[in-house]
Amino acid sequence: MKLLKYNLILVIAIASLFVGCEKDFNNVNKPAENQVFSTREGIIGASVGMTQDFTNSTMSPIVEVSALSTRELGNLSTYLTPEQLVAGGLSLPDDNAGIVRLWSRLLRDKGVAESIIASVDAIELQAGTKSGLKAYAKFFKAMTLGYLIQNFEKAPINNEVDATFSDRATVLAECISLLESAKSDISATPVSDEFTGIFPDIDLLNMINAYAARYNLFAGNYTAAIAAADAVDLTSKSVWIYDGSNENPVWKFAVYNEPDTKPQDNFGLLGDYIPEAGDGRIAFYLDPSDEVEVDFGYHSVENALGFFTSASASIPVYLPSEMLLIKAEAYAQTDLPSAIAPLNAVRTKTDDIFGVNAGLLDWTGDVTDKTAVLNEIYKNRCIELFLTGMRLEDSRRMHGSFTPSDDIDYINERNRNYYPYPFAEKENNVNCPSDPSI
């Protein structure tokens, strides 16, 4: 991503102004909001800084926290944070550092997006740059809200002191509304060459449609999910970019320098969900190892490959094959025979733009059994979307009848449904709800 020559240190520093659900205190050393969001340079710098902060900082707990709760990652250390997450159950404390980072960083990035949305119309910019920045900020707010509601039972739609919390259905409806509004912005005024030059590695319209498909699926809006997925160009790439100064966060915690966490064997899947022999996605994502972790379930672990092979490896904003799996699941809920074609398209794919190719034959299961079809979709989501922060949501949504154990659980597909709200949020926000039961 082209960072231009804006003061990104300043931009990232002021992000802490907008956490909003915690009490704010005056700090004379902080720049005033109107110094950052009232000029062309400031609003562009805020947009670039928001992106860099998300990709370099927030992406880490999005992936790692839920991966430890859903067996994607095995824990090789005795550090308290991963140990608590991989154990799960009622013993998971509200001051777990991973949960705190996940919550606070998503709120921080969401707050910057909200400030951009509130300020951009008043700034003199090329029309297509303004529409692009506005739509991008709406996408960002929808994305951060989406990750919040994937991990927490309720979330604040707007950052403010003593913010009120909304339930899952309301938050997902807001995510969808933001994305539809973003789509309208750039449909009315297409993005400028200037905007594309600032963000050359993303395709904003396809990102908007992809996340609209995702959140409509989560909300149970199956017809809308299919329509949004159909609108995504499966040959288009959008990626988060890393380099020597902004390193791939999953590489940092799961690959580099004898990491504390590594992928579990078979993607952490057991029984009927174990990948089939010859599935090309195994070699894409996993490098075989004889290593076994011995303290937290005695799981075999592998070395991570895929999008995490180096400090500069880029990470997709979304995988095109997610759109096929969204269609398969939505059809399975509404028109079961139509679910099989997109499911098989994922299984047999050999030309994925990112190289995530199963290269298998068509599914030979019972195409008339809805549960069997959904389980095959779930299996392929677990493999195809490995380490994308999606599995906790997928497990809870698709296997809702399973109740995690109250006790330590190193074996089952998830050890929590949602995470407790961070201790600091409870202390600082009178509207913070009670923790979920598990």
Closest CA to 300 of 275, 274, 263, 270: 263
Cα angle 427, 433, 438; round to 5: 110
- Written as six digits, the tokens of 160 are 């403010």
Cβ atoms of residues 116 and 50 within 8 Å: yes
Q: What is the dihedral of CA 227, 389, 105, 168, to 10 degrees?
A: 50
Place of tokens 């231009």: 4
The pLDDT score that the predictor gives to residue 36 is 82
CA distance 131 to 115: 15
CA distance 130 to 40: 10
Class (C level, CATH) for 8-238+261-423: mainly alpha
Please tell me whether residue 261 adopts helix, strand or coil conformation: strand
The pLDDT score that the predictor gives to residue 8 is 44
The pLDDT score that the predictor gives to residue 244 is 86
- Compute how many other C-beta atoms are within 10 angstroms of the C-beta atom of residue 396: 18
Question: Mean pLDDT, consecutive 10-residue segments, the chain of 438 residues?
Answer: 39 42 38 73 97 98 98 95 97 98 98 98 98 98 98 98 98 99 98 98 98 99 99 98 95 96 98 97 98 95 98 98 99 98 98 98 98 98 98 98 97 97 97 97
The pLDDT score that the predictor gives to residue 4 is 37
pTM of the shown model: 0.94
Domain positions in the chain are 8-238+261-423
